[in-house]
C-alpha cells in the first residue's frame, strides 16, 4: 500500500523494493536474513508505523542511525489518527484514501529532500483520482440505510474507512490479527448481528473462515440467518492479477464486495 502511495510522486529513476511478499500479514511478519540485507542495501527505508510492523521496530530504530527511516504515519495529523488508548493509534490508515494519499505525497517529498531533490515528481493527477474515488464511495454509501451500513469482520481494520463513510464496525479480534479471541467474542458478534438485523459477516484474506462459521451457526440458533461474505482485503493488496492488487484498488475492491447485496438463507 505504501509503495503504491509514494510511487506516483517519485521519478522513474527511483527503485522501490517492497519488503513484504505479496499478500503477507504485516502484524505478524518476522524479517528473514535476506530482508536484513535488503534493508541494509537501501538508501532509505519507509514504513507504515503506528506499530503495524510490530516485529520490525527495533530494526528500524537501529537503521535510522545510518540512513533516512521515515514512517508515513508521521505525515498524518495526530488529530486525524484514531486513538486506541492514550498513546496508541489504529495503524490501518490506508483505508482513509485522502489521508493516506496526502501523507504518501508528503512522504515522497521528504524522501526526495533527504536523498536527492531530483527524485521528486509530484503527481496532482494521482491525488485528483483519489479525490474522485473518495467522492464516488461517499455517494455510494450515502444511498444505503441501516442496517446495510455496517462491516462485521474478523479484525478491526476498517475504522478509518467506517469514519470516512459513516459506517459501523464490529470485529472478533480487535485491532491486530495476532490477538486471541474465543467464545465470548463470537457471542458478542452474534448478539450484534441479531440485534441490528445484519445479514452478512465477512472473512478476511488473512483469517480462517471457520471462525465466521461459528458466528453463522450462533446466529442460526437464534433464528437469524446470515451469509458469510467473500474475504475482504485488509492488510495487504490482493496477490497476482486479482482485483484489488494495488492501493487504492484494494479499497475499491472491498467497497464493491461490501456494496453488493448477498442473499442469505
Ligand atoms: Zn490489520
Q: CATH number for the domain including 55? A: 3.40.50.1980
Distance 122 CA to ligand 1 centre (A): 29
CA of 223 to the centre of ligand 1 (A): 32
| In a shared domain, residues 41 and 155 | no
Cell of 155: 479484525
Sign of the four-CA dihedral 223, 224, 229, 235: negative
Cα(235) to centroid(ligand 1), Å: 5
Whether residue 133 is contained in a domain is answered as no
Q: Tell me, yes or no, whether 134 lies in a domain.
A: no
Q: Cα(254) to centroid of ligand 1, in Å?
A: 14
Region 44-48 average pLDDT: 97
**How much distance in Å is there from the Cα of 126 to the middle of ligand 1?**
25
18 and 88 Cβ atoms separated by less than 8 Å: no
Please say if the pLDDT value at position 148 is more than 80: yes
Does residue 149 fall inside a structural domain?
A: yes
Helix (H), strand (E) at residue 142: helix 124-142
Q: Is residue 93 part of a domain?
A: yes
Q: Does 156 share its domain with 245? A: yes
Are residues 144 and 118 located together in one domain of the fold? no
pLDDT average, residue stretch 207-228: 89
Question: Which residues neighbour ligand 1 (ion) by CB within 5 Å?
Answer: 157, 235
Q: pLDDT-derived band of residue 38, with 50, 70 and 90 as boundaries?
A: very high
How many whole angstroms from 117 Cα to the centroid of ligand 1?
Answer: 33
* pLDDT for 99 beyond 90: yes
Do residue 174 and residue 122 come from a single domain? no
C-alpha closest to that of 161 among 220, 215, 97, 245: 97
Residues 109 and 159 in one domain: no
Determine contact, residues 215/186, Cβ cutoff 8 Å. yes
User: Which of 97, 126, 155 is a domain's end point?
Assistant: 126
Task: Provide the mean pLDDT of the chain.
Answer: 93
Distance 115 CA to ligand 1 centre (A): 31
Q: How far is the CA of 242 from the centre of ligand 1 (A)?
A: 20
For ligand 1, the distance from its centroid to the CA atom of residue 174, given in whole angstroms, is 9
Whether 102 and 198 share a structural domain:
no
pLDDT at 188 over 90: yes
The CA 23 to ligand 1 mean position distance, Å, reads 12
**Residue 152 falls inside a structural domain:** yes
Looking at 126, 155, 172, the residue that finishes a domain is: 126
Same domain, 234 and 151: yes
Distance (Å) from CA 236 to ligand 1 centroid: 9
Distant-in-sequence, close-in-space partners of 173: CB < 8 Å, separation ≥ 6: 154, 155, 156, 179, 181, 185
Looking at 61, 91, 126, which one is the last position of a domain?
126
Sign of CA dihedral 122, 128, 130, 134: positive
Cell reading at 78: 495526530
The rounded distance, in Å, linking the Cα atoms of 65 and 60 is: 9
pTM greater than 0.85: yes
Least confidently predicted of 34-38, 71-75, 146-150, 156-160:
146-150
164 in the same domain as 232: yes
Ligand 1 midpoint to CA 42 (Å):
26
Q: What ranges make up the beta strands (E) of 68-111?
A: 69-71, 83-85, 88-89
Burial pattern 169-207, b for ≥16 Cβ within 10 A else e, equals bbbbbebbbeeebeeebbeebbebbeeeebbbbbbbbbb
Whether residue 131 is contained in a domain is answered as: no
Task: Tell whether the model's pLDDT for residue 208 goes beyond 80.
Answer: no
Least confident of 57-71, 166-180, 221-235: 166-180
110 and 146 part of one domain? no
Tell whether 147 is covered by a domain. yes
What residue numbers bound the domain in which 159 lies?
Answer: 140-259
Cα 137 to the center of its chain, rounded Å = 16
Do both 117 and 147 map to the same domain?
Answer: no
Residues 104 and 157 in one domain: no
The domain tally of the chain equals 2
Alpha helices by DSSP H, listed for 66-225, are: 97-115, 124-142, 159-165, 183-195, 209-221
Question: Does one domain contain both 79 and 115?
Answer: yes
Among residues 188, 196, 204, the alpha carbon closest in space to that of 224 is found at 196
Compute the distance between CA of residue 174 and CA of residue 168 in angstroms, rounded to an integer: 14
Report how far ligand 1's centroid is from the alpha carbon of 26 (Å).
8
Percent of the chain exceeding pLDDT 70 equals: 98
Q: What confidence tier does 209 reach under pLDDT thresholds 50, 70, 90?
A: low
- Residue 132 in any domain: the answer is no
CA–centroid distance, 118 to ligand 1, in Å, is 35
Amino acid at each position: 500500500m505504501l509503495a503504491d502511495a509514494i510511487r506516483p510522486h517519485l521519478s522513474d529513476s527511483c527503485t522501490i523494493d517492497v519488503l513484504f511478499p505479496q499478500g503477507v500479514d504485516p502484524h505478524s511478519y518476522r524479517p528473514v536474513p535476506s530482508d536484513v540485507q535488503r534493508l541494509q542495501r537501501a538508501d532509505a527505508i519507509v514504513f507504515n508505523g503506528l506499530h503495524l510492523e510490530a516485529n520490525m521496530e527495533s530494526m528500524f530504530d537501529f537503521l535510522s542511525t545510518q540512513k533516512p527511516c521515515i514512517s508515513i504515519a508521521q505525515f498524518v495529523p495526530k488529530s486525524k489518527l484514531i486513538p486506541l488508548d492514550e498513546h496508541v493509534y489504529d495503524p490501518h490508515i490506508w483505508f482513509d484514501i485522502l489521508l493516506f494519499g496526502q501523507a504518501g505525497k508528503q512522504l515522497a517529498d521528504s524522501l526526495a529532500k533527504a536523498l536527492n531533490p531530483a527524485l521528486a515528481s509530484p503527481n496532482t493527477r494521482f491525488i485528483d483520482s483519489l479525490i474522485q474515488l473518495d467522492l464516488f464511495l461517499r455517494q455510494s454509501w450515502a444511498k444505503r440505510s441501516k442496517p446495510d451500513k455496517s462491516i462485521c469482520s474478523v479484525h478491526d481494520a476498517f475504522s478509518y474507512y467506517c469514519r470516512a463513510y459513516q459506517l459501523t464496525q464490529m470485529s472478533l479480534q480487535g485491532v491486530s490479527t495476532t490477538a486471541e479471541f474465543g467464545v465470548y467474542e463470537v457471542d458478542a458478534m452474534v448478539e450484534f448481528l441479531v440485534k441490528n438485523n445484519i445479514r452478512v459477516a465477512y472473512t478476511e484474506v488473512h483469517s480462517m473462515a471457520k471462525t465466521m462459521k461459528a458466528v453463522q451457526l450462533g446466529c442460526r440458533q437464534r433464528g437469524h440467518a446470515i451469509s458469510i461474505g467473500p474475504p475482504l482485503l485488509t492488510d495487504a493488496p490482493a496477490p497476482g492479477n486479482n482485483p484489488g492488487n494495488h492501493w487504492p484498488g484494494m479499497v475499491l475492491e472491498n467497497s464493491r464486495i461490501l456494496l453488493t447485496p448477498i442473499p442469505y438463507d
